[in-house]
Structure formats: structure tokens, C-alpha cells
Amino acid sequence: MSFWYANWIENNNLITLLNLANQNVMNPNAKQSDFIEQDAKWNIPKLVQTLNDHQVIRKIQGIALTFHSTNDSLLRA
């Protein structure tokens, strides 16, 4: 899933939450999995380096990660 463009934090994408212009996105092809460590924990130093917004990082930290692999699926509320 796209790190920047998918609506995965409070039904918004990071571009909207951070009020970024598309041309200011560092590594626009990044995926969420790029920010997850082998032990299924968020890579906080990488998030801080990339986002530099502690409020958004705290929201990401609040998203629980699982140890087993599952396929992505679209859920509608």
C-alpha cells in the first residue's frame, strides 16, 4: 500500500495530513512496508526522518501491526 497516497490514517493520506504539494513528496513510490521493521514494529527513526511531524507519527504508532502476513483488502465504513 502506498505510504503517501493511500487513505490509511484517519481516512486521509499523508499528503493531505501534512499539507504537502505532490512535488515535495520524498520517495513518492514508498510503501508502508518500507517503514516496518522485521519484528513487525514501526521504524520510528525512519518515520521521524521522513515526516518530521510528531503528531502524525504518533497517529501512525497507534496503528497496530501483526506478525502474520495477510493480503491487503479494501474496507468500507
Q: Which of 61, 59, 45, 56 is nearest to 20 (CA)?
A: 56
Write the pLDDT tens digit of every residue in 20-50. Answer: 998 889 899 999 999 999 999 999 999 999 9
- Would you say residue 75 lies in a domain? no
Give residue 60's domain range: 1-20+30-70
- Would you say residue 5 lies in a domain? yes
Residue 69's pLDDT band (cuts 50, 70, 90):
low
- Would you say residue 25 lies in a domain? no
Residue 71: pLDDT over 90: no
Alpha helices, DSSP H only, in the chain?
A: 14-17, 44-51, 54-61
The rounded percent of the chain whose pLDDT value lies above 70 is 91
Determine whether 74 is exposed, middle or buried from the number of CB atoms within 10 Å of its CB (0-12, 13-18, 19+).
exposed
Q: How many domains does the chain contain in total? A: 1
- Would you say residue 66 lies in a domain? yes
- Would you say residue 47 lies in a domain? yes
- Would you say residue 77 lies in a domain? no
- Residue 14 CA neighbour count, 13 Å, CB half: 26
Q: Which of 40, 41, 39, 43 is nearest to 30 (CA)?
A: 43
